[in-house]
Amino acid sequence: AQKVTQAQTEISVVEKEDVTLDCVYETRDTTYYLFWYKQPPSGELVFLIRRNSFDEQNEISGRYSWNFQKSTSSFNFTITASQVVDSAVYFCALSETASKIIFGSGTRLSIRP
């Protein structure tokens, strides 16, 4: 069965600090996709990144970076030099090629000025 675990329910840091959001997944498939979404207070889910299981290269996009490690079934998300606008709930998600997307329970990130 597929499962996504985001053990950190809430994180609070001071602006400009770096912060890492953890994501651990379970799947029996060898082909799958991993995602991160941001949900600001407005409620809309904003797509951040998609990774397929055959691409373990880490990715950097501005202040955001993602560390995909199949050996530990983890897909962690790091925000460098955090800003108040980064405050939101962040969801990690998993999709096997022939079934639905499963979301984790989310991590609420608060950036204090």
Partner 1 sequence: EAGVAQSPRYKIIEKRQSVAFWCNPISGHATLYWYQQILGQGPKLLIQFQNNGVVDDSQLPKDRFSAERLKGVDSTLKIQPAKLEDSAVYLCASSFLGRGRNNEQFFGPGTRLTVL
Distance CA 37, CA 46 (A): 5
Q: In angstroms, what is the minimal distance from the CB of 81 to partner 1?
A: 26
- Give yes or no for residue 57 binding partner 1 (CB under 8 A): no
- Give yes or no for residue 50 binding partner 1 (CB under 8 A): yes
Tell me the Cα Rg of the chain: 14
For partner 1, what does the binding mask look like between residues 25 and 44, x meaning CB under 8 A?
A: --------x---x----xxx
Q: In angstroms, what is the minimal distance from the CB of 7 to partner 1?
A: 14
Smallest CA-to-CA distance from 66 within 96, 92, 105, 99 is with: 92
Smallest CA-to-CA distance from 88 within 110, 104, 113 is with: 110
Residues of this chain that bind partner 1 (CB under 8 A): 4, 33, 37, 42-47, 50, 52, 91, 93, 95-106
